Amino acid sequence: MILRTSKVFWLSSKIGEREADATLLVAPGQAVRFDLEFIGRGNPEITKDKVSRFERNLEVKEKQFYSATCIIVGRVGESSALEDQAKRAGVKVIQLSMHYWPVVLAQWLFDKFGHKSDLLSCSEADLPALLKNKLTKVSFENFVQGLGVSEMKED
């Protein structure tokens, strides 16, 4: 069995010491752990713990991955120190309140890992149609089936 190590995404996992809301294996040896926070702005729950939550390296089925962290939040309060803390820790914070947030995420993945996406050249006006088109190609049956890490085989 060959473990798939590129373009693999799953929700909720505990690899290492902390649980992630989502994990993306971008390419062999490169991963992103996502922490999702859909709480109100200014909520003190979003603290330094969020930016230091995950290890810089993780192991999946005996393979090592460099791990970056991305925190996706509804909105960051004006007086929040989250952005500064994240920058110091090398963590990306993306706000869902920005209508263009998928493009911001795609640009970060390109800058960090060289991952190319159609979103990089997409205008804000064309974004909804592009996302709708891409989502029609996603097999939600496989997504919600609950495939485990041990079941992610190379195509």
For 131-141, how does the pLDDT look when each residue is reduced to its tens digit (9 = 90+)? Answer: 999 989 877 77
pLDDT (0 to 100) of residue 60: 63
What fold is seen in the domain 8-151? Trna Endonuclease; Chain: A, domain 1 (3.40.1350)
- Distance, CA of 52 to CA of 47 (rounded, Å): 9
Amino acid, res. 126:
D
**CA 78, 81, 84, 87 torsion: positive or negative?**
negative
Q: Residue 149 in 3-state DSSP?
A: helix
Instruction: Report pLDDT digits (tens) over 88-100.
Output: 778 888 888 888 8
pLDDT (0 to 100) of residue 72: 85
Top-confidence range, 38-47, 60-69, 133-142: 133-142
Residue 23: CB atoms within 10 Å = 22
How much is the average pLDDT of 62-80? 77
pLDDT band at 108 (very low <50, low <70, confident <90, very high): very high
Higher pLDDT, 48 or 94: 94
- Distance, CA of 147 to CA of 11 (rounded, Å): 10
**Residue 9: is its pLDDT beyond 70?**
yes
- pTM of structure: 0.74
Chain centre to alpha carbon of residue 86: 15
Look at the block and give the residue holding tokens 């990089």.
120
Q: Residue 98 in 3-state DSSP?
A: coil
Q: Of 16-25, 26-35, 115-124, which gets the smallest average pLDDT?
A: 16-25
How much is the average pLDDT of 19-40? 80
User: DSSP code of 151?
Assistant: G
Residues 6+ apart with CB under 8 A from 84: none
